Chain A
């Protein structure tokens, strides 16, 4: 009833090519942004910020980057955690080694470093694809795990192996309370989501999608596979690298290489698959799902156990978490292989006809 596009006429090319062609979509997204920026800081408490909202924002930025590569360009990667690590450690080194380095610039430079390594480790994609490529990107993962653990230069020779950032400050604004950290992350995520959306609508995004759908055919119609694949690796690693810097600087504060282990790579890939490959919105759904589920299970299982009269041990909870998490992944892949984003678009489709389906 409310979600209809009739009556909304496009009278110029610009109007026809805007991101959200339906006014309701546009207002919904503006409303969402306003809610996240204005209402959430007033409603949420510190635990919400620390445990849910900030990890959700940072990981959805990383998932967005992975989605550009996996969902839009069709190149499987299991090395996303490594690129997060490169982003975090590079930004750290820029901060520590250059006096008066602005925070945001250091993070962006961290992203650029990650992009450079992304191009390097994307080179195998010119020869191999699918599972073989996944293994090639795993090489990046293990190499980074090792390098940040063993080579002292990266961690500024800190004795414990963990690094930390003293003070987050941007143009005189000291970012220390959870609310400020949240808003800082939110600004990044909104800006990058906007960039990602536009990239995928532009020529380069179309090239990626052509490569994804059939690389040989794309080559025949004049798309340079090398440029398309490596640019996808570069852009994706840039996003992931910035997310890594945010994860280290804002969420963790001080971190060790284990924060960016291979599990993180798997987690990011899960987010993309569950959220929906080739969908910007899907990255957010996937991140929300993966971040909230363990917390929910952690709270809910002991409660359920006490209802039945069984005390669930901590080990039991972590095992049950594994089982439920695994089953949910299997369930989602069987029932909805296109992810939560597909459910979202089905819902929109239904809403269009509601309440008169004929």
Chain B
């Protein structure tokens, strides 16, 4: 029983991290109807920038203050993400208004390649570490409940808490602020939003910025967990079924979907994997998403898709 709970908690933590990446997908899709395949590359670039800026500033400061170096790193990476958002809007999206979904999808694949190349050219292509002072040692909880207790990684715990704070913050941002309201208006109807005076271009920059910041948070957490390296881009492929399961247009969907996929993956790997040779995590997530699709084509929380002739 304790082992089951341990596995499930592990799944929940991983799921929370998937949700973070999925959130980036959802934000951009909601505001501009673009399915952003470059989210994984954005996570990579953000994490690389953060790791390298803090490394450089740490060297420049003489290694006195890790905290200050990390702050500089985060600010620097944030600036990089802003530049990325601006460039994407200015040079790509602005020229592709009113194109079909498939074209926009392909263009984000192109953006992903450019970001991967540029990021590695500027920041190097080795494996870097991010140290934001996350505790690495595991703790044992619920000892009174089960024999031997449940082993939990403190790091995972903090990561999950951070993700929760981020989601809460985003919800407030979207529901209560003027900019958030403008973003929702653009998501609802481009033309109507434009006709009441909401500047489309500026909103797109903002939403790509927000997605960039989400990518930064995801990058820092993933990066401090397993090092910053090229394989971070594959996180996007892991997060895809999450978005599909939760619904492309729903922020809570991304969270719930992430948790379901995280738990499902871990449980299937542990309990089903040994029978079929293991390594089933990745396709199991997709098959779960596929089954949901067959019954609810819009995902668990997505807006109902209405087709008009």
B117 interface residue (CB < 8 Å to A): yes
Closest chain-B Cβ to A348's Cβ sits at a distance in Å of: 24
A124 interface residue (CB < 8 Å to B): yes
Q: Are B117 and A321 in contact (CB under 8 A)?
A: yes
Q: Are A135 and B276 in contact (CB under 8 A)?
A: no
A220 interface residue (CB < 8 Å to B): yes
Whole-angstrom CA separation of A22 from B115 in the bound complex:
46
Query: Which chain B residues numbered 49 to 104 have a C-beta less than 8 Å away from chain A?
Result: 91-92, 95-96, 99, 101-103
Query: Which chain B residues numbered 255 to 309 have a C-beta less than 8 Å away from chain A?
Result: 276-280, 282-283, 286-287, 289-290, 293-294, 297, 299, 307-309
A127 interface residue (CB < 8 Å to B): yes
Contact pick for B280, options A127, A146, A266, A323, CB 8 Å: A146
Q: Are A325 and B113 in contact (CB under 8 A)?
A: yes
Q: Are B293 and A132 in contact (CB under 8 A)?
A: yes
Whole-angstrom CA separation of A159 from B114 in the bound complex:
38
Q: Are A135 and B309 in contact (CB under 8 A)?
A: no
Tell me which residues across on chain A come within 8 A of B27, comparing CB atoms: none
Whole-angstrom CA separation of A321 from B96 in the bound complex:
24
Whole-angstrom CA separation of A268 from B237 in the bound complex:
18
Given contacts A146-B282, A220-B309, contact A326 B289 (CB under 8 A): no
Tell me which residues across on chain B come within 8 A of A151, comparing CB atoms: 277
B231 interface residue (CB < 8 Å to A): no
Per-residue contact bits, chain B 120-137, to A (CB 8 Å; 1 contact, 0 not): 110001000000000000
Given contacts A150-B277, A320-B121, A334-B95, contact A139 B294 (CB under 8 A): no
B208 interface residue (CB < 8 Å to A): no
Count A-side interface residues using an 8 Å CB cutoff. 48
Given contacts A135-B289, A217-B309, A333-B103, contact A326 B113 (CB under 8 A): yes
Given contacts A132-B244, A139-B286, A262-B237, contact A326 B117 (CB under 8 A): yes
Closest chain-A Cβ to B81's Cβ sits at a distance in Å of: 18
Tell me which residues across on chain B come within 8 A of A324, comparing CB atoms: 117
Given contacts A130-B101, A333-B107, contact A135 B121 (CB under 8 A): no
Residues of B that sit less than 8 Å from A by CB: 35, 91-92, 95-96, 99, 101-103, 105-107, 109-118, 120-121, 125, 237, 240-241, 244, 248, 276-280, 282-283, 286-287, 289-290, 293-294, 297, 299, 307-309
Q: Could you show 28 A-B contacts with beta carbons less than 8 Å apart?
A: A124-B290, A127-B294, A130-B101, A135-B244, A139-B241, A142-B286, A146-B279, A150-B276, A150-B277, A216-B307, A270-B109, A273-B102, A277-B102, A315-B120, A315-B125, A319-B116, A323-B118, A323-B121, A326-B113, A327-B110, A328-B110, A329-B109, A329-B113, A330-B91, A330-B110, A333-B103, A334-B96, A337-B103
Q: Which 3 A-B pairs have the closest CB atoms?
A: A326-B113, A322-B117, A329-B110
Residues of A that sit less than 8 Å from B by CB: 70, 76, 124, 127-128, 130-132, 134-136, 138-139, 142-143, 145-146, 149-151, 214-217, 220, 262, 266, 269-270, 273, 277, 315-316, 319-330, 333-334, 337
Given A319-B121, A322-B113, A333-B99, 20 more contacts at CB 8 Å? A127-B293, A128-B293, A131-B248, A132-B297, A135-B241, A139-B287, A146-B279, A150-B276, A150-B279, A151-B277, A270-B109, A316-B121, A319-B116, A321-B117, A322-B120, A323-B117, A326-B114, A327-B110, A328-B110, A333-B110
